[in-house]
Amino acid sequence: MVTGGSRGLGAAMVRAYAARGADVVIASRKGDACEALAKEIRAETGRRALAIACHVGRWSDCDALADAAYAEFGRVDVLVNNAGMSPLYPSVDQVSEELFDKVVGVNLKGPFRLSARIGARMKQDGRGSIINVSSIAAVTPSQIEVPYAAAKAGLNNLTVSLARVFAPEVRVNCIMPGPFLTEISKSWPPGMFERMKDGIPLQRGGQAEEVVGAALYFASDASSYTTGAILKIDGGTAHAPA
């Protein structure tokens, strides 16, 4: 199951899992985009693909998503909490309560609820892997993403906490991406691409497919002795420890 799975990093992970024999649940707020990718997955890989519209900031949507996945497949082996959002705002004193709650809801509240529901079931079933997708904003926040950075820092903490809660049956790990050239990069402020050459040792943003190796590692038995880990994939951008 991949939330935020219809585009960007989420879609790259969905394609990678299906290509290697997994049936997939694709969830995002846009049900039609999920179904379009599910149709592509079925045609290209022959795997089962379930598309579900879900706003992870709402517990009722998270519960419905979990129920639908178990009704269709009987189990969830891997949960990827990838859905995220970071709306722009003019200044921190103009962040509305609605915007703050929405950002925390999608980036932290939803992953908590889905992990609590599905992680408990995984533990009961005897195995599973939960993969959170954070951001280097959690450790190197900027002035333009304060609520987002705080929520992602909470997600890093949640990773370590739930790794202890669900051990030893379930592993909980986190991918912490830096700047990736997905659709979200279209809304970056002017000059962002030029500044990358100075601020990123690899002098570029990442491509969505470059998250796949980590997603496969955490999902597979290759990471059987890894839990509570936070893996930075950022071209060397962030210097602070996770």
Q: What is the pLDDT of residue 193?
A: 62
In b/e form, how buried is each residue of 132-147, taking b as 16+ CB within 10 angstroms? Answer: bbbbbbbbebeeebbb
pLDDT at 134 over 50: yes
Q: How confident is the model at residue 206 (pLDDT cuts 50, 70, 90)?
A: confident
What pTM did the predictor assign?
Answer: 0.93
Domain for residue 7, yes or no?
yes
Domain for residue 188, yes or no?
yes
The candidate with the shortest Cα–Cα distance to 150, out of 187, 81, 103, is 103
Domain for residue 238, yes or no?
no
pLDDT in tens, 41-63: 999 999 999 999 999 999 999 99
| Catalytic residue of the set 17, 70, 148, 225 | 148
Q: How confident is the model at residue 229 (pLDDT cuts 50, 70, 90)?
A: very high
Domain for residue 183, yes or no?
yes
Domain for residue 108, yes or no?
yes
Domain for residue 125, yes or no?
yes
Domain for residue 242, yes or no?
no
- Domain residues for the domain of 149 are 2-233
Of residues 192 and 17, more confidently modeled = 17
Domain for residue 36, yes or no?
yes
Confirm whether 148 is a catalytic residue. yes
Check: CB of residue 147 under 8 Å from CB of residue 132.
no
Check: CB of residue 34 under 8 Å from CB of residue 53.
yes
- Indicate the helix (H) or strand (E) that contains 70: helix 59-73
* Torsion region of 22: left, alpha or beta (phi above 0 gives left; psi -120 to 50 gives alpha): beta
Q: How many folded domains does the chain comprise? A: 1
Q: Give the CATH number, domain containing residue 162.
A: 3.40.50.720
